Amino acid sequence: MAKIALVTGANRGIGLEVCRQLAKADAQVILTARDEFKGKEAVKKLTADGLDATFYQLDVTDEENIRNLRNFVMEKFDRLDILVNNAGILLDEGIRGLDVPMDTVRKTFEVNVLGLMSMCQAFIPLMRKNNYGRIVNFSSILGQLDSMEGGYPSYRMSKTAVNAVTRILADEVAGSNILINSVHPGWVRTDMGGPSATRSIEEGAKTPVWLCFLPDNGPSGKFFYDKHQIKW
């Protein structure tokens, strides 16, 4: 039976490529994006290649929107096997912690952390019902406490918090065949990563997609880069 996979922030970049690789692995993909036009155009690109993809408009900071999405998934598929929390923003490049506006911190956390956690809260009960789930939370080595430095303060803190959410929820669902992990995709040539980044979008999507298909005895509550566990 084909896996049902949902990816947030997927109208471009790594999110779109994750959708592509999941669909090529025979998953039925629900591509979500905040911008309806861009999201539908992204789905057209996938379906033009013969891939199975459906669009749903989603703002991860809107809890009613998330509830409506959950209802849509339940009515259309009655389950969700894979959740990829890719949606994220970077608003404080080149800004120091001493100077970052608190509004920037709040906006970053609303999307990168609270939106991600809301998605987990919405869909983990559905995964529990079917005793199967794989959740991949996009993080970054910029959030590693092991090597924390200055700069990018709200982005760094948000990714540290993402890792905390991963560990908390992974522990809470232990034994239920729901595996939850964080991933660092690397420095990827996307709108966020910029043209000087060292790896392609295809390379950046490989480890997240690998985590989507972990076996039942696979790792959970861990942080991965290039299919290897890394420090928090």
pLDDT tens, position by position, 74-98: 999 999 999 999 999 999 999 999 9
Report, as an integer, the average pLDDT of 59-81: 98
Place of tokens 């598929």: 77
Q: Is the dihedral of CA 141, 144, 146, 150 positive or negative?
A: positive
What range does the domain containing 153 cover?
4-229
Beta bridge partners of 84: 7, 136
Q: How far apart are CA 4 and CA 78, in angstroms?
A: 10
pLDDT grade, residue 159 (50/70/90)?
A: very high
Q: How far apart are CA 111 and CA 219, in angstroms?
A: 26
Q: For 135-149, what is each residue's pLDDT tens digit? A: 999 999 999 999 999
Q: How far apart are CA 100 and CA 57, in angstroms?
A: 31
Residues designated as active site: 155
DSSP designation for 65: H
What's 195's domain CATH number? 3.40.50.720
Q: How far apart are CA 144 and CA 71, in angstroms?
A: 35
Report, as an integer, the average pLDDT of 66-76: 98
Which one, of 182, 226, 183, lies nearest residue 203 by Cα? Answer: 226
Q: How many structural domains are present in the chain?
A: 1
What is the C-alpha radius of gyration for the chain, rounded to an integer number of angstroms? 17
Helix (H, G, I), strand (E, B) or coil at 226: coil
